[in-house]
Amino acid sequence: MKGILNILKPPNMTSHDVVSFVRRKLNIKKVGHTGTLDPMAVGVLPICIGKATKIIEYMQSDTKAYRGELTLGASTDTQDRWGNIISTTDKKVAKEDIINIFNAFIGKQLQIPPMYSALKYKGKKLYELAREGKEVEREAREIFIYHLNILRIVENRVLFDVKCSKGTYIRTLCHDIAKALDTDGHMSFLARLESGLFEIENSITLEELAEADINTIKNQYLYNIDYPLKNIPRADIALSASKATINGVPIREKDFKLSSKINNKDIVRLYIDDRFMGLGIYNKGKDASFIKIKKIFV
């Protein structure tokens, strides 16, 4: 079996717990997720199965969309409501100020990852150091907030939707917004609505997966390997070059046709007779171009 499942991760489970669940259900060892979702968060968690695990590296850079809630008035050590409260304030913040600060966070910016994260420092995960009471300096990373839309403000709680680049911590976004408002704050709810092309409306629960037979999973729940790669340019290869392609031999210019104009060293999807074969790297030479095989999935 090979393909991708769009799983609706429940709360109180780690992303690795979901991977283990899928492994047991399908009796397949080669299973992986495309981006960690906090244990208490819910939402879209694409799970790659079999040869589809080879495309995880291309899915990790996908944009993500979330619905979150910022609660003002208290900060925690984890930047969310499941941590220990470290400071509080009774300060009242005007709705107009909240709206203005939210708008100011749209676009490119630098974000310092939280201590309670799976990032590593000298071989050790940051959350392990945090649990030991240690804090280390973290390098700020460039992120991009595509949109940040307030849905409603009720007393000290702000419900919002956000679309962002990979590596964005919504907990930290909430913390930073509160700081910009000169108050305390933490993330009190988080649901991932989208991960690349996978949306929460089309996700399946672990209960649905558990009750389904293998044929139902294959025919109704499993996405083809190339589904999340639609944004990568396509190259159609001549039938006569099938054997060479499968064997990893570079594809000559006369044996492929590109779907669009691309740049040198761009990744391309490879198809033979409309069947997805794998991924290659386009090389534009002075005299002739060719595609170097990178991954084959057949």
- Please give the C-alpha separations between residue 296 and each of 4, 57, 276, 278, in angstroms, as whole numbers: 17, 15, 9, 4
SS3 of 169, please?
A: coil
Virtual torsion, Cα 217, 221, 227, 228, nearest 10 deg: -110
Q: At what angle do helices 95-104 and 170-180 cross, to 10 degrees?
A: 130
Contact assessment for residue 127 and residue 185, using Cβ atoms and an 8 Å cutoff: no
Q: Is 161 a catalytic residue?
A: no
Cα dihedral across residues 227, 217, 11, 199: positive or negative: positive
Query: Which residue of the set 17, 38, 97, 274 is catalytic?
Result: 38
CB atoms within 10 A of CB 130: 18
- Say what the alpha-carbon torsion angle 241, 243, 249, 255 is, to the nearest 10 degrees: 0
CA 22 – CA 6 distance, rounded (Å): 11
CB 166 within 8 A of CB 111: no
Amino acid residing at 103: N
Give the residue numbers annotated as catalytic, written as ranges: 38
